[in-house]
Amino acid sequence: MTDLFSYSLSPSNCVLIGLVALLTGMSKTGVHGAGMLSAPLLALVFGGHNSSGIILPMLIIADVFGVFYYHRHASWKHLKLLLPWAAVGIIAGTFAGAYIDDKTFKIIMAITIFVSIPLMIWLKQGEKDSIPKAGWFSVSTGIAGGFTSMVGNLAGSVMAVYLLAARLPKNVYIGTTAWFFLVINWAKVPFHVFSWHTITLNTVFLSLITLPLILLGAIAGVFIIKKVPEEYYRGFIIIMTIVAAVSMLL
């Protein structure tokens, strides 16, 4: 066992934390399904509730790398529609999170992701921009994104449905996602610190020592995405989402 910032970690725990750091970095530079795997893996070590506060600083570090690389490609039109409603979802998630146990949350999120998959496939064939222009779609996506991000840092599939429907180019998709999560992840910090008490100096220090692995994952993500042609990226997102959903049920 290794004692690290008041945590007693086995070698396998340390390996899992390192893997989560790599996947988190990759997720912020385009390999979004990797991010959906991170939260369940970290929950194996710390439990669902506590892991949400441990992974959040890691996500914020990775967000910075993602925004740094893709900051010029964001669609601010879509961000302005989503972010105000995401704030509503964060507040709702703060209250609901106190009543959802780890097992129930895992089932809910797996169902949510599985439901999103046929939507992604259907929207892939749909008319360009037909749904994102509808007000209800932006409102519901923003609230759902904020809620699922607050409760379990698993809003990737929600955002994928919306942004795939918008038919954004690959780099614009990644840049818009990077900015969205940078903003809402910072917005979640006060709730984790003062309401849930899941972010402490220990969790921040633990996240900081994973910084090299997060950076390595971010660089790897850039290279992986460069190898995925524009016309195949939408299918790539759907496949990664399916992998993440299946992993949550194992």
Locate the domains of the chain by residue range. Answer: 10-249
Q: Report CA torsion sign: 33, 35, 38, 43.
A: negative
Most confident of 112-121, 175-184, 195-204, 238-247: 175-184
CA distance 10 to 33: 27
Checking if the pLDDT of 139 tops 80, the result is yes
> pLDDT-based confidence at 104, cuts 50/70/90?
confident
Question: Each residue of 216-237: pLDDT tens digit?
Answer: 999 999 999 988 887 788 788 8
For 12, 46, 199, the CA distances from 158, given in Å and listed in that order, are: 31, 25, 25
Checking if the pLDDT of 134 tops 90, the result is no
Mean pLDDT of all residues in 45-61: 88
> pLDDT-based confidence at 133, cuts 50/70/90?
low
- pLDDT of res. 38: 86
Average pLDDT of the chain? 85
Mean pLDDT of all residues in 141-155: 88
- pLDDT of res. 211: 95
Provide, rounded to the nearest whole percent, the portion of the chain with pLDDT above 90.
Answer: 43
| 34 vs 25, more confident | 25
Checking if the pLDDT of 208 tops 80, the result is yes
- pLDDT of res. 215: 96
- pLDDT of res. 152: 79
Mean pLDDT of all residues in 43-72: 89
Helix runs in the chain, H state only: 11-27, 32-46, 48-70, 76-96, 102-125, 135-152, 156-165, 170-191, 201-208, 211-226, 230-249
DSSP 167: T
